[in-house]
Amino acid sequence: MTLENIKSEMEANVPGCVLEIVGNPSPSGQHSLRIDPAHAVAIATFLRDAEHLRFDYCSNVTGIDWPGKEISEKVKAKKLVDGAEQEVEEIRKTQTIGHLEVVYHLYSMEKKHGPVILRMRTEDRAEGVHLPSLTHVWRSADFQEREIFDLYGVIFDGHPDLRRILMWDGFQDHPMRKDYVEPDDYEYEPTAHDQVLERARQHRTVMGAQ
């Protein structure tokens, strides 16, 4: 089945769901389907349980950070120039709201087809970082959702054991976010790179001055 067919079936079987096909211009052509978080669990359950689909295996879950950015575009506007109205070209700048995205790759081991790629977006990168967990649909999503929580800060509502998996409990921030700033207080290690050693030296200098 094509992604368009699957989209149509989900719209017919999950009332109210909002779906969007996201094209992939690369040679692989692996297009994906952006789903609305409110219907994510119902959509996932349909993909897993529908007799002709049986997407019973989630092979991979990844996170993406999309920071907000400024977009400049040329627009035409009418203004008074030397007392006469003229059409001039201006640069209009707008600021987009950043968000986090989670991507699920699905296969059917029973039917031997796939992948189908699902995407979900958070509202923003600050307070609106909640998404529904799909671990209860695909058990293999458990540790991978924990990793995304740890490294990106997405809070998966309904996850059975949502806690850090790579960083320690007291660690602040999320290392895979694009605005993450590395600390300057690294402990010395025999294989440390020159830049790490320089940050550690500067940190000791500053702390010594205090």
pLDDT tens column, 56-108: 999 999 999 999 988 888 888 887 777 778 887 888 888 889 999 999 999 99
Domain positions in the chain are 3-65+100-170, 180-210
pLDDT at 186: 57
% of the chain beyond a pLDDT of 70: 93
For residue 207, the model assigns a pLDDT of 67
Supply angle C-alpha 74, 75, 79, rounded to 5: 130
* Fold of the 3-65+100-170 domain: Beta Polymerase; domain 2 (3.30.460)
The confidence score (pLDDT) of residue 4 equals 95
**What's 186's DSSP letter?**
P
Strands 113-121 and 84-95: unpaired
Dihedral sign of CA atoms 53, 57, 121, 64 in order: negative
Which amino acid, one-letter code, is at 116? V
Say whether 150 sits in a helix, a strand or coil. Answer: helix
Which letter does DSSP use for residue 96 in this model?
P
For residue 182, the model assigns a pLDDT of 79
Q: Tell me the backbone φ, ψ of residue 25, rounded to 5 degrees.
A: -80, 0
- Regarding pTM above 0.85, the answer is no
Name the nearest CA neighbour of 158 among 44, 25, 65, 17: 44
Helix (H) / strand (E) element for 91: namely: strand 84-95
Which residues of the chain register pLDDT less than 70?
184-192, 207-210
pLDDT for the residue 81: 73
Q: What is the pLDDT of residue 203?
A: 73
Calculate the alpha carbon distances from 190 to 193, 194, 197, 199, 203 in Å: 9, 11, 10, 15, 18
